Amino acid sequence: DAKTTQPPSMDCAEGRAANLPCNHSTISGNEYVYWYRQIHSQGPQYIIHGLKNNETNEMASLIITEDRKSSTLILPHATLRDTAVYYCIVRVTGSQGNLIFGKGTKLSVKP
């Protein structure tokens, strides 16, 4: 089972920041938080990941709380092309490295 909880859907206005929350209260100390997104009928696209520190790349920022029990993915200036299902995944150690997908958050960016 997925170790994360996400809201099923969110709306965001085009040009505004999209803040997608994720709860992972049972995360272990050495487990990474990964974010992917899936646009309809395509394979998941890697966005960002982190362990303890906040991370930023050209796509997004990842804010992880100090207790690591939750995180937020931030898309700074959402566009219509950011409409997708966003998955927050805790990569479980002890496995062969596979990812267990939950239901994700359907983000709709509206004009």
Which residues of the shown chain bind another protein in the complex (CB under 8 A)? Answer: 30-32, 34, 36, 41-46, 49, 51, 87, 91, 93, 96-104
Of 77, 44, 75, give the one whose Cα is nearest residue 60.
75
Q: Closest separation between CB of residue 62 and another protein, Å?
A: 13
- Smaller CB separation from another protein, 94 or 111: 94
Q: Which is nearer to another protein, 51 or 74 (CB)?
A: 51
Residue 48's identity, in one-letter code, is I
- Least Cβ distance, residue 50 to another protein (angstroms): 10
Q: Is 91 left (phi over 0), alpha (psi -120 to 50) or beta?
A: beta
CB nearer another protein, residue 23 or residue 32: 32
Nearest residue (CB) to another protein, 10 versus 14: 10
